[in-house]
């Protein structure tokens, strides 16, 4: 944060674990950025405004608009924001305005997206989707957004047609940290061959997943499977089962995977093994593009 910054508006990506903000010009240039660990999960409702001001207070020299996305709009967030129902554009003007104590702050939360059957919701991902589509007009296909709760999203005619969420990332964390397998997968290494074999195996027989999970423990005890190999196999088993279930989404489609780092690369590799090439896109860049597009919609 710096006291010399005078932005035209502020962009905020507020997740469960972290808050990231950007000081923006009307032209869409980033003047400064800041972040903290004050995510939704750590805050009571009256803690959101102070957490925001801790990062952006030095940027405020009069009335300013803040465009926010993510879990800030959850039921446990600052203010519960509305959901748009599919099929719908990823980007709408149905912002939820937050009541603030600081009269200079005008905070607007981007709506999430909901699906009635099968029941599903997203918050934050819709902004990444809108940012991706703003950079790729008239794009049709499927967008995969890997994470703790991975989303597979069908896009057609600039609308979110349907989507499905998979808890594979959270399952990996729970299994590797809170089950008997935690002793078998305690490693930071990686065995690419083991990951790829597990992907193909579970794609072929996803109904065997639960049995294959315990075999990781037995393989270590009886056949000296390394923790590195077991961890890679666990990841491959879970992502393979997810790809098998999500096959109606990605099969024969143009695919974009939005995300940075290893997790997005794992999905790109898994899809490649199924003969389904995917383009990987950096998550931060499309989030900011989506927030910028939202600001322009708000200002008309």
- Domains defined along the chain, listed by start: 9-123 (3.30.420.300), 166-281 (3.30.420.310)
The predicted structure's pLDDT at residue 2:
43
- What pLDDT is attached to residue 91? 85
Q: Give the SS3 label for residue 253.
A: coil
Query: Per DSSP, which regions of 123-184 are E strands?
Result: 141-145, 150-156, 159-166
Per-residue model confidence (pLDDT) at position 212: 96
Name the helix (H) or strand (E) containing 257: strand 255-258
Longest dimension (CA), the chain: 68
Long-range contacts of 173-180 (CB under 8 A, 24+ apart): 173/148, 175/213, 175/234, 176/231, 176/234, 180/214, 180/217
Q: What is the pLDDT of residue 101?
A: 97
Q: What does the chain come to in residues?
A: 300
User: DSSP string covering 180-212, please?
Assistant: GGGGTS--S---HHHHHHHHHHHHH-GGGHHHH
Picking from 45, 54, 42, 59, the residue whose alpha carbon sits closest to that of residue 100 is 45
Residue (of 98, 108, 124, 111) closest to 18 by Cα position: 124
User: How confident is the model at residue 5, as a pLDDT?
Assistant: 86
Torsion angles phi and psi, residue 122, rounded to 5? -145, 145
Q: Give the whole-angstrom CA distance, residue 5 versus residue 7.
A: 6
Res 260: pLDDT? 78
CA distance 202 to 200: 6
The model's pTM: 0.93
Buried b / exposed e along 42-56 (16+ C-beta atoms within 10 A): ebeeeebbebbbebb
Q: Which residue has the tokens 């032209």?
A: 27
Q: What is the DSSP string of 39-106?
A: -GGG--GGGHHHHHHHHHGGG-SS-EEEEEEEGGGSTTSSSPPPEEESSEES--S--EEPP-SSTTEE
Residues of the chain with pLDDT under 70: 1-3
Helix (H, G, I), strand (E, B) or coil at 114: strand
């Amino acid at each position: 944060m710096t006291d010399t910054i005078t932005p035209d508006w502020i962009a905020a990506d507020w997740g469960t674990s972290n808050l990231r903000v950007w000081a923006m010009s009307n032209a869409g240039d980033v003047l400064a950025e800041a972040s903290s660990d004050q995510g939704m999960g750590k805050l009571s409702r009256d803690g959101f405004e102070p957490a925001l001001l801790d990062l952006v207070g030095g940027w405020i020299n009069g009335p300013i608009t803040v465009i926010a996305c993510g879990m800030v709009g959850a039921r446990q967030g600052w203010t519960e924001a509305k959901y748009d129902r599919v099929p719908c554009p990823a980007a709408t003007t149905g912002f939820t305005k937050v009541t603030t104590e600081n009269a200079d702050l005008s905070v607007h939360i981007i709506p999430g997206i909901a699906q009635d059957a099968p029941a599903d919701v997203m918050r934050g991902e819709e902004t990444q989707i809108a940012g991706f589509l703003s950079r790729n007009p008239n794009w049709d296909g499927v967008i995969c957004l890997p994470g703790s709760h991975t989303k597979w999203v069908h896009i057609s005619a600039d609308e979110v047609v349907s989507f499905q969420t998979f808890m594979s990332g959270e399952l990996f964390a729970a299994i590797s940290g809170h089950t008997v397998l935690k002793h078998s997968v305690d490693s930071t290494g990686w065995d690419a061959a083991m990951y790829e074999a597990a992907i193909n195996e579970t794609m072929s027989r996803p109904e065997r997943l639960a049995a294959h999970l315990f075999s990781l423990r037995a393989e270590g005890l009886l056949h000296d499977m390394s923790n590195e190999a077991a961890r890679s196999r666990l990841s491959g088993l879970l992502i393979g089962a997810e790809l098998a279930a999500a096959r109606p989404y990605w099969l024969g489609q143009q695919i974009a995977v939005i995300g940075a780092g290893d997790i997005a690369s794992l999905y790109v590799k898994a899809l490649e093994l199924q003969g389904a090439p995917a383009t990987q896109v950096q998550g931060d860049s499309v989030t900011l593009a989506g927030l910028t597009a939202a600001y322009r919609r708000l200002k008309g």
